[in-house]
Amino acid sequence: MAIEPKRIRVRQTTKMSELDEPIVLVADGLYYELKTGFILTFDQEREDGIVPTTLKYTTGRLALMCKGPIEMNHSFIEGRMTQSVYKNPYMAMTMATTTERLDVSDGRCQFDYALTMNDDVAGTYAVDVTWTFKGGDEA
């Protein structure tokens, strides 16, 4: 039996240590409920094109997957360092994060991490993703 998605409005706020102002993304997307978590899908509009994005949460692990001009499949696990490859139209880099915090509740996912790219410190990030159901759908 297929999982029926629910329409959502996603708001992602990213605070980076090297920028004074947070980056805010608002997009329409889909929410899929899983037995042990959820999947959110939405498109990020970026300078070099639309990036289809998926956030998949299962107990203790948040996976961030991007396709298109930016490609990555990275997991965030509280208290752990994880590695993957980040690709854009110009290069591929090794990406490593140490996740300091991963909090998930109804309609919200927050995670903080330190990032290195090709073994160079890129900064610290605090991401807050919230979603609301559209059209009367409720979780």
From first to last of its 139 residues, what are the pLDDT tens digits of the chain?
567 899 999 999 999 998 999 999 999 999 999 999 999 999 998 887 899 999 999 999 999 999 999 999 999 999 999 999 999 989 999 999 999 999 999 999 999 999 999 999 999 999 999 999 987 544 4
Closest Cα partner for 52 from 24, 83, 85, 28?
A: 28
Closest Cα partner for 27 from 138, 137, 132, 136?
A: 132
pTM, full prediction: 0.90
Closest Cα partner for 18 from 117, 129, 127, 122?
A: 122
